[in-house]
Structure 1
């Protein structure tokens, strides 16, 4: 019988009311999305957004962010008006203390102080304070300087007026994340730099300084051309070739401000980066929907007006947007974000506002630039023809449902259970490894698909080339769920898809190639949590009568350090999965009770897209830069 409290004993004493900032510390995920790397860095964005709000409303011209030598302490300062320090008429507490210790306390609820703002809930600064081991705020106002310190959201000092007169105004916040909340409290310098540079693009004329004390560097971002410069940078990063030299640009600054910059490229995908009041909306929302709707309607109207639709070709919205790279930046007075992490805009009126503006401006731009328009429409028609060919090819290799096995690759070692229960597909590197895996698996629910050598780099290939590739064809047929816009997870033949490659550098490269394919052409598998990476051992370590398995060099060294004192260790390095005995492969890599799987997940879509573009795209300079920046960190290079 259960010993849990019965419903009859449930009364008033069982109700817990969290006070002050306790809710933030109890449920940080509700406020910053989680305690992973993205949540950790969200602390910086909340404080930076407050400084940006000052700049956005004409009260500040310079923002400085400092990552201190310990790489765990951040300082954000601006030359804005400074957080008020006088006592609040109701609470009799300094306004600075209220802003940093009370949820929903701030100066952005009324329109008089901020025309537009990224932080409207009065939550950001107090949340950062609650999740910080320590925080200090320094404010310059009215010729004086004030300081107040906190620990985990609780004041540790009273508001202090420092001696001596000072010039200027502004706010400086220094904080260090609480290690009892965050498993890892070390900030990533590159992530911070990228976010700050983006802020300088979106707020042209605002100087943004970034100081990395550990690296001994200081960078100043200042972009007078705003998102036009940003668009050029994104196109270069992605290694895309634009089909027209002059970008489409649009800017309106009335009660609401809208900025758009875009170009069509030869790329086979669409890439839109959208922002609201300077905050990235990775999951889009009403403004992004309005942009897409206005763009598609404008191009359709141009095609219809000039009678450019070719016979036998149906042009879809996907065809019109293929190859598009765009920056959309909207500033509105009262944004309604989905959640505190603000990654999606919900304002319904924003869709109509953006759509009508983009549609009118795009139609005018196409009509005023007929040579550019001709190139764009030719690009759209080519995309429509390619999509029709892709659909036919996809249907030819796609296996609908789990009963038709005649179209499955001959080298697939399928499982008995089909697409039911806990079935899983291992995509294995090479026929030799595939043979060992087929012998070592549990064939009731584990299927094995061997792929020959390194698969095609789909980041740099055309869709036609991708669909013509034999290994990709086999993969699509085995999964059975289609590709691209036609992916249907209901037709996926396995509950899990697991990438299994050698533990060496070649194996990592093959895994990266496969991840690129799934990210670009079957992202639904990642979003639904169906894609995994297996971690096979690279070393076998025999010490006395005991055998240990190590996935890499650090794990090997740790095993030797911990157990090597008893006798001389014997270390064997596997050349590949193919030389493993099937029983060993089962015990180390296939057995669910013993194996280690890494679930493929995406914390930051923009960072992921940038990384794949840099590492796998056509632009070799991005990879060279990546290697040179990390050369000093490399050890025991596998060549």
Structure 2
């Protein structure tokens, strides 16, 4: 039975952990899915730190069907001997004492992600149950905890009867292992008293982070097994190419330069309190070394993809290392452009800005240093001040050497890079100059818009809707079905250009793409201005068949690549026209009812329901193969009238994952797409093909 009171033996320990339970957001950021995932990585990062130190080359992460998470490694194992100051075993100290661990400068870790000594103990405090097993010294040691308090469970479930230790804790020996075998296994059940009801472990996020860590620690294999579904799903990652391979993986476009590697180091002195054997904290000047490793490349696009890490811990909000990188980068590139201003045709009043240099850049920035200062336990921002100048100096030295290199490839690539930066600057200045001409025009000013556009009358952008319609036949019906006060129509002929493979110039010279950009009126690429868009909703209205889906995908690719803020802010929709029209026969003189269904399953469900209630329907059931088959009333009722239509909002919850999918399905690299088609062929429903 779970006791309501804590034992006196652990009163001091649990006072600290009770603070964690009262203010969990202070330690894990939030109590939703994000905080739940943070707990997982607090445990995994401990194993990664061991791998960084050369101990263990594999980490297993298991998502069990009962909602628990287990992390296994073959590192040195948590110490099991007694810690002299507390009289507790190393295992108990790690999991019950805040600010306790092996990462406070004692020599166990040169650089690590865990710094504050609170990760494992916080996860323990926020767990309904946590079990730990350690292989060390030829034995397997075990201990269990209930909401931070050590004791014994009478069963395997988290709600099994629990008996806390009263006088002294017991680190049990539960088995034997071969000599030299070491490792740690931690399994915990998150406490549902703490986390929100909808908090859950996201496999995609876990996989993405595991892949990222495998890139950052060459030679480390990370295996994720998800046992929550009907079948066990296992994913494994191991990369030996380091961050150069990571930068190539992240790059969303074809390369303008090779992937350059900038490496170096610097030292700095900081005053830190050092714990003495007597227990006193004495301020001491300590010399630190900061190692810098950067992989970067410029591509032909304008997107900037940047990842920064301190001791392999992701710092999504940047910090002093990111500031130093941008400082050094801007100084070198601006200096090179000033030296070549005449050749590059740069005027005296034309100034290079940071965004001009970062356009098309893919960068992975890593620094490693002992005891870095982070802002908060979530470690999203690096705060060590000295790192800024060290990173800036490394970037300036290495990049200057690249720009002044006598090698033919380096000369060619740096020349292309400078041309690109200057072109970005000129495009930015031009876009700003002509920004006012991109504003929404009134009816008298709209003569320059495409003749095939059937515009609406309202000047209220928020209320206006632009329907991009497939084909002239559907356009004719849509003109009669629309509300011309606020609904505009733009027809496109067939399938537009695949802009994922085409260059910017090819895209702009394509009549259909140019018409769409011109009608929306907010520009494209880096110059896109969402506030200048002429319509509040962009609705893609294509046939409910394979060709219609393909056209919709091509249009979404155009929006994703060149007008992404429209998708990110939820302005792009897909119309949902019905697939079937069922006329239900009513007895006597009562008019027949018309019911529309939007999928095969919905149709079968409707027919079964009608049959069960003894109702008849006209045969054959009409199957719409195109928008042109509907009359104006049907199209208005089902697809265009706000009162009865269904719209599917297009969202980009994970822009990076979406970019990879677009590149796979629509990019110029054929081999991965062919592999995807072959591997997914068994999921194809042949009856769904309209052939």
Q: What's the TM-score, normalizing by structure 1?
A: 0.78
Aligned residue runs from structure 1 range 136-175, under 5 A: 136-141=131-136, 143-148=139-144, 157=162, 161-166=172-177, 168-174=181-187
Looking at structure 2, the residues matched to 587 and 100 of structure 1 have their Cα atoms a distance apart, in angstroms, of 62
Deviation at 1:513, TM superposition (A): 2.2
Change over 3 Å in CA distance of 1:520–1:565 after alignment to 2: same
Q: Does 1:247 align with 2:260?
A: yes
2:524 aligned partner = 483
Looking at structure 2, the residues matched to 279 and 535 of structure 1 have their Cα atoms a distance apart, in angstroms, of 43
Looking at structure 1, the residues matched to 650 and 117 of structure 2 have their Cα atoms a distance apart, in angstroms, of 34
Q: Give SS of 1:447's match.
A: strand
Q: Does 1:78 align with 2:73?
A: yes
CA deviations 1:508-534 (Å, max 9, x no partner) are 322322322222222333333433333
Q: Does 1:298 align with 2:332?
A: yes
2:247 aligned partner = 231
Q: 1:221 aligns with which of 228, 235, 238?
A: 238
Gaps of 5+ in 2: 1-17, 150-157, 165-169, 268-288, 586-591
**In 2, are the aligned partners of 1:303 and 1:377 still within 8 Å (CA)?**
no
CA deviations 1:129-176 (Å, max 9, x no partner) are 788887643334564421426699988545762423345443323357
Looking at structure 2, the residues matched to 562 and 90 of structure 1 have their Cα atoms a distance apart, in angstroms, of 74
Looking at structure 1, the residues matched to 235 and 540 of structure 2 have their Cα atoms a distance apart, in angstroms, of 41
**In 2, are the aligned partners of 1:397 and 1:473 still within 8 Å (CA)?**
no
**In 2, are the aligned partners of 1:277 and 1:329 still within 8 Å (CA)?**
yes
**In 1, are the aligned partners of 2:253 and 2:299 still within 8 Å (CA)?**
no
**In 2, are the aligned partners of 1:61 and 1:207 still within 8 Å (CA)?**
no
**In 1, are the aligned partners of 2:262 and 2:395 still within 8 Å (CA)?**
no
**In 2, are the aligned partners of 1:398 and 1:476 still within 8 Å (CA)?**
no
Q: 1:275 aligns with which of 309, 312, 329?
A: 309
Q: Does 1:410 align with 2:451?
A: yes
Aligned residue runs from structure 1 range 63-212, under 5 A: 63-67=58-62, 74-83=69-78, 107=101, 110-112=104-106, 116-118=111-113, 136-141=131-136, 143-148=139-144, 157=162, 161-166=172-177, 168-174=181-187, 181=196, 188=203, 192-210=206-224
Change over 3 Å in CA distance of 1:425–1:366 after alignment to 2: same
CA deviations 1:287-306 (Å, max 9, x no partner) are 44543442232233234446
Looking at structure 2, the residues matched to 133 and 435 of structure 1 have their Cα atoms a distance apart, in angstroms, of 63
Change over 3 Å in CA distance of 1:418–1:173 after alignment to 2: farther
Looking at structure 1, the residues matched to 607 and 198 of structure 2 have their Cα atoms a distance apart, in angstroms, of 27
Looking at structure 1, the residues matched to 190 and 604 of structure 2 have their Cα atoms a distance apart, in angstroms, of 31
Looking at structure 2, the residues matched to 94 and 433 of structure 1 have their Cα atoms a distance apart, in angstroms, of 75
Q: What's the TM-score, normalizing by structure 2?
A: 0.73
Length, aligned pairs only? 610
Q: Does 1:501 align with 2:542?
A: yes
Deviation at 1:615, TM superposition (A): 1.8
CA deviations 1:554-576 (Å, max 9, x no partner) are 44444445555334666433212
2:655 aligned partner = 605
Looking at structure 2, the residues matched to 438 and 44 of structure 1 have their Cα atoms a distance apart, in angstroms, of 55
1:13 aligned partner = none
**In 2, are the aligned partners of 1:248 and 1:365 still within 8 Å (CA)?**
no
Q: Does 1:327 align with 2:343?
A: no
1:565 aligned partner = 612
Gaps of 5+ in 1: 1-17
Q: Does 1:552 align with 2:603?
A: no
Q: Does 1:336 align with 2:377?
A: no
> Which structure has the greater CA radius of gyration?
2
Change over 3 Å in CA distance of 1:612–1:170 after alignment to 2: same
Change over 3 Å in CA distance of 1:160–1:386 after alignment to 2: same
**In 2, are the aligned partners of 1:275 and 1:281 still within 8 Å (CA)?**
yes
CA deviations 1:474-525 (Å, max 9, x no partner) are 2222222222222222222233333333333323322322322222222333
Aligned residue runs from structure 1 range 585-596, under 5 A: 585-596=635-646
Q: 1:624 aligns with which of 649, 665, 674?
A: 674
2:57 aligned partner = 62
1:310 aligned partner = 344
Looking at structure 1, the residues matched to 41 and 233 of structure 2 have their Cα atoms a distance apart, in angstroms, of 22
Looking at structure 1, the residues matched to 431 and 400 of structure 2 have their Cα atoms a distance apart, in angstroms, of 34
**In 2, are the aligned partners of 1:99 and 1:126 still within 8 Å (CA)?**
yes
Q: Give SS of 1:418's match.
A: coil
Q: Give SS of 2:463's match.
A: coil
Q: Does 1:530 align with 2:571?
A: yes
Q: Give SS of 1:411's match.
A: coil
Looking at structure 2, the residues matched to 73 and 151 of structure 1 have their Cα atoms a distance apart, in angstroms, of 14
Q: Does 1:366 align with 2:362?
A: no
Change over 3 Å in CA distance of 1:522–1:292 after alignment to 2: farther
Deviation at 1:274, TM superposition (A): 3.2
Looking at structure 2, the residues matched to 400 and 562 of structure 1 have their Cα atoms a distance apart, in angstroms, of 52
Change over 3 Å in CA distance of 1:139–1:470 after alignment to 2: same
2:9 aligned partner = none
Change over 3 Å in CA distance of 1:349–1:281 after alignment to 2: same
1:423 aligned partner = 464
Looking at structure 2, the residues matched to 451 and 391 of structure 1 have their Cα atoms a distance apart, in angstroms, of 32
Looking at structure 2, the residues matched to 584 and 98 of structure 1 have their Cα atoms a distance apart, in angstroms, of 71
Change over 3 Å in CA distance of 1:398–1:105 after alignment to 2: farther
Deviation at 1:202, TM superposition (A): 0.5
**In 2, are the aligned partners of 1:439 and 1:582 still within 8 Å (CA)?**
yes
1:379 aligned partner = 416
1:256 aligned partner = 290
Looking at structure 2, the residues matched to 579 and 343 of structure 1 have their Cα atoms a distance apart, in angstroms, of 55
Aligned residue runs from structure 1 range 430-469, under 5 A: 430-469=471-510
Looking at structure 1, the residues matched to 148 and 452 of structure 2 have their Cα atoms a distance apart, in angstroms, of 58
Looking at structure 2, the residues matched to 82 and 611 of structure 1 have their Cα atoms a distance apart, in angstroms, of 40
